[in-house]
Amino acid sequence: MRNNSFDIIVIGGGHAGIEAAASASRMGCTVVLMTMDRNALARMSCNPAIGGTAKGHLVREVDALGGLMGKIADETGIQFRMLNKSKGPAVWSPRCQSDRKLYSEVAVELISSFENITVIENSIVEILIENNVVVGVRTGSGEEIVARAAILSAGTFMNAIMHTGLNATNGGRFGEKPSVGITESLVNLGFISGRLKTGTPPRLKKSSINFNTLEEQPGDTNPKPFSHFTDPVNFPALSQVSCHITYTDSNVHKVLEKGFDRSPMFTGLINGVGPRYCPSIEDKVVRFSDREKHQLFLEPEGLESDQIYVNGFSTSLPAEIQLEALHKIKGLEEVEMVRPGYAVEYDFFPPHQVDSTLETKLIKGLYFAGQINGTSGYEEAAAQGLMAGINAALKIQGRKEFVLKRSEAYIGVLIDDLVTKSTDEPYRMFTSRAEHRLLLRQDNADRRLMNYGQELGLVNFQDAQIVQDREAKIFKGITACKSQKLNAKKINNFLESKGSSIIDSTETIANLCRRPELSLSEILKLDGLSEHVDISPLIEDELAMRQVEIDLKYEGYLKRQEEMIAKMEKYEDHYIPLTLNYLEVKALSTESREKLQKFKPRSIGQASRLPGVTPSDISVLLIYLKR
């Protein structure tokens, strides 16, 4: 029996799933969002925080493309901080603590506001295929739902097993069932699956912690929202709270060691590969045995919640060992554990099986997004969900695909890394992964992407127009600052007061701005400049001013990155047909031939990034493609 026909089915209502559903729906598609618990949309499985280094960039980009994550984070944030503020602008990253419960509630509310999204609570067990094209899905209760495309974003749920000590339970998240059947149905079609693992720390009862003895970590005094569309007047929406810092010590480590013989990791019970950047506390104790202490952050789970998340104490040791160790930690002497930490093992599909649009190479109309592509983290998931939703909609509408370049966005870097390098451990975004990092800043996500958002129908014309108008101000402002000279008489007093060397006759604003000790806004506030036609708009628009300042201060570096991008561009734009049979290209080395055949890069640029493919292979390819 087949009923209910939709354009797109989204399987999984996590961070990836809701972005996919929302973007596709906004672009005019009818969407059904299948999920196991309709009240758990965008549930934060692990820490109650959004953003952080490089992840914050992703949130800003998702937002500039009309995604949901930044908006929800702004509404539910209980502590906002800009990380790396002492460094240059490219590595500033916004982060917030969220009210876990509210986060999900706001997500549910937002999704229900979309008229053409139908949320169905049911588990999908099979994806239905005809002639290598998706035609629908089958639910656990045997119903078939028909659709033209399916986006799989099942997170950590597929054949998931949770471990605490030697106890293993089937389930993808505390209190939730695993998802069974999908992996098998896809492996039968020829997909390759793998196994990964991740973990989460215990949750503590807030009222049983002695915070008085602990170092407090408050949020920023003047917090900035994630979303470009959040009204700064009503921000932050919730009252703000602090985190606290404490440390483990050798006594704690000794207790933990007692449990090593019952660790699912060390006894080989878990086969999945875990993330190196997010090791469990037992891993840290073993691998860095020379360290006497490890830092822990006690993070509130919400304004009303009596739970505390122990960031840095992810563990799958037996529950009684966890508690005993916690009791040895300063401030936690009397602590009550609400729930022990656990590790979860789950299936994923090594991402060389998807194309840059996140559509699978094997089955048309099937898209993979989020944790199932081997990534880890809410932000990484959201970015993929958004892109999968957009591309599924574009394809159904017969429109041109939407792929972001590495030089345009972290989202581009993320997906390109996945499809060119695949991954055998959970992939997390870092700023160092972006070779054009200086240009991909959180402060210019709107300048980089909002236009696309508008073209796709995800961002309002008016909002995009504001960014466009600002662009003109920035351009004129830069030119003005480069030509407008200030004379010694007028400015030397100011320079002296800033501890900056005085000038002899005249100097351009641009050159003064390049001095690290001077800020553009201070210079522009000097007498007379507010009259200047191209400068006064900057004084009135803080955002434009900041862009001009960054551009002037770091001009040399930015130019160099732009040149590098220009040099690579022709390779990025040189497409390779997906149908190319590399095995026939005899002049390629055997290793490269196999690599290329496996990954099927979409451009010469991508081919050149495959590990093991040499510049000579690229020459050979270029020549071959001329045929």
Partner 1 sequence: MKFEINEDTIIALATPPGVGAISVIRLSGPSSFTAIDEVFAGKVQISSAKTHTIHYGQIIENDEIIDDVLVSVFRAPNSYTAEDIVEISSHGSPLIAQKIISLILKNCQIRLAEPGEFTKRAFLNNRIDLAQAEAVADLINSRTSVSLRGARNQMDGLLSSNVLSLRTKLIEVSAFVELELDFAEEDIEFVKRTELVAKINYILSEIEALLESFSFGKIVREGINVALVGEPNVGKSSLLNYLLKESRAIVSSTPGTTRDIIREEISIDGYLFRLHDTAGIRSSKEEVEKEGVERSKELIKNADLIVFIGDVYIGFSDELYDELRKLNPSIKILKVLNKTDLGIKRLYSEDFQISAKTGDGIPHFLNGLKVEVFQDGIYSERTAIVSSVRHYDCLTKAKKNLIRALEALSENISGEFLASDLRASEISLAEIIGEVTPEEILIDIFSKFCIGK
Ligand X SMILES: Cc1cc2nc3c(=O)[nH]c(=O)nc-3n(C[C@H](O)[C@H](O)[C@H](O)COP(=O)(O)OP(=O)(O)OC[C@H]3O[C@@H](n4cnc5c(N)ncnc54)[C@H](O)[C@@H]3O)c2cc1C
Q: Using CB under 6 A, which of 70, 89, 274, 377 touches ligand X? A: 377
Q: Using CB under 8 A, which of 146, 430, 460, 492 touches partner 1? A: 430
Q: Which residue has the tokens 């980089």?
A: 448
Site string for partner 1, 437-476 (x = CB under 8 A): xx--------------------------------------
Reported as half-sphere exposure (CB side, CA atoms, 13 A), residue 95 has a value of 20
Q: Which of residues 380-409 bind ligand X (CB under 6 A)?
A: 381
Contact indicator for 509, 538 with CB cutoff of 8 Å: no
Contact indicator for 240, 223 with CB cutoff of 8 Å: yes
Reported as half-sphere exposure (CB side, CA atoms, 13 A), residue 307 has a value of 19
Selection from partner 1, ligand X, none that 515 binds (CB < 5 to 8 A by kind) is none
- For residue 300, the cross-strand partners are 308
Q: Which CB atom, from 278 or from 512, has the smaller least distance to ligand X? A: 278
Q: Which helix (H) or strand (E) holds 391?
A: helix 378-396
Pairing, β 161-164 against β 342-348:
antiparallel
Q: Using CB under 6 A, which of 22, 24, 29, 34 touches ligand X? A: 34
Q: Which two tokens stand for residue 462?
A: 């008016």
What lies within 8 Å, CB to CB, of 196 at 6+ separation is 272, 273, 274, 345, 346, 348, 374, 376, 425, 426
Q: Using CB under 6 A, which of 46, 319, 478, 596 touches ligand X? A: 46
Q: Which two tokens stand for residue 217?
A: 């970590």
Q: Which two tokens stand for residue 36?
A: 């196991």
Output the smallest distance, CB 613 to partner 1, in A.
9
Query: Which residue type sits at 161?
Result: I
Taking the C-alpha atoms of residue 123 and residue 141, their distance in angstroms, rounded to an integer, is 8
What lies within 8 Å, CB to CB, of 476 at 6+ separation is 534, 537
- To 5 degrees, how large is the angle CA 565–CA 567–CA 569? 65
Contact flag: residue 577 with partner 1 (CB under 8 A): no
Q: Which of residues 367-426 bind partner 1 (CB under 8 A)?
A: 421
Closest to 597 measured CA to CA, from 585, 609, 608 = 585
Q: Using CB under 8 A, which of 4, 30, 37, 53 touches partner 1? A: 53
How many residues touch ligand X under the rule CB under 6 A: the total is 35
Selection from ligand X, partner 1, none that 88 binds (CB < 5 to 8 A by kind) is partner 1
Taking the C-alpha atoms of residue 292 and residue 438, their distance in angstroms, rounded to an integer, is 36
Site string for ligand X, 139-158 (x = CB under 6 A): --------------xxxxx-
Q: Which residue has the tokens 């929406």?
A: 237
Q: Using CB under 8 A, which of 288, 469, 522, 575 touches partner 1? A: 288
For 544, counting Cβ atoms within 10 Å of its Cβ (0-12 exposed, 13-18 middle, 19+ buried), the class is buried
Q: Which two tokens stand for residue 298?
A: 């006690």
Taking the C-alpha atoms of residue 233 and residue 241, their distance in angstroms, rounded to an integer, is 19
Q: Which of residues 245-274 bind ligand X (CB under 6 A)?
A: none
Contact indicator for 30, 24 with CB cutoff of 8 Å: no
Selection from partner 1, ligand X, none that 494 binds (CB < 5 to 8 A by kind) is none
* Listed ranges 21-29, 476-484, 534-542, 570-578: which one lies at the site for partner 1 (CB under 8 A): 570-578
Q: Which of residues 528-567 bind partner 1 (CB under 8 A)?
A: 554, 557, 560-561
Do you know the residue count of the chain?
627
N-to-C CA span, the chain: 50
Taking the C-alpha atoms of residue 322 and residue 315, their distance in angstroms, rounded to an integer, is 8
Q: Which CB atom, from 176 or from 541, has the smaller least distance to ligand X? A: 176
Selection from partner 1, ligand X, none that 589 binds (CB < 5 to 8 A by kind) is partner 1
* Listed ranges 85-93, 173-181, 207-215, 221-229: which one lies at the site for partner 1 (CB under 8 A): 85-93
Q: Using CB under 6 A, which of 371, 420, 422, 454 touches ligand X? A: 371
Output the smallest distance, CB 97 to ligand X, in A.
15
Q: Which CB atom, from 13 or from 477, has the smaller least distance to ligand X? A: 13
* Listed ranges 159-167, 258-266, 429-437, 452-460: which one lies at the site for partner 1 (CB under 8 A): 429-437
Output the smallest distance, CB 196 to ligand X, in A.
10
Binding stretches for ligand X (CB under 6 A): 11-17, 34-37, 40, 45-46, 123-124, 153-157, 173, 179, 182, 198-200, 278, 344, 370-371, 376-378, 381
Interaction site with partner 1 (CB under 8 A):
52-54, 83-84, 87-88, 90-91, 275-279, 284, 287-288, 291, 294-297, 311-312, 421, 430-433, 435, 437-438, 516, 554, 557, 560-561, 570-571, 574, 587-589, 611, 614-617, 619-620, 622-624, 626-627
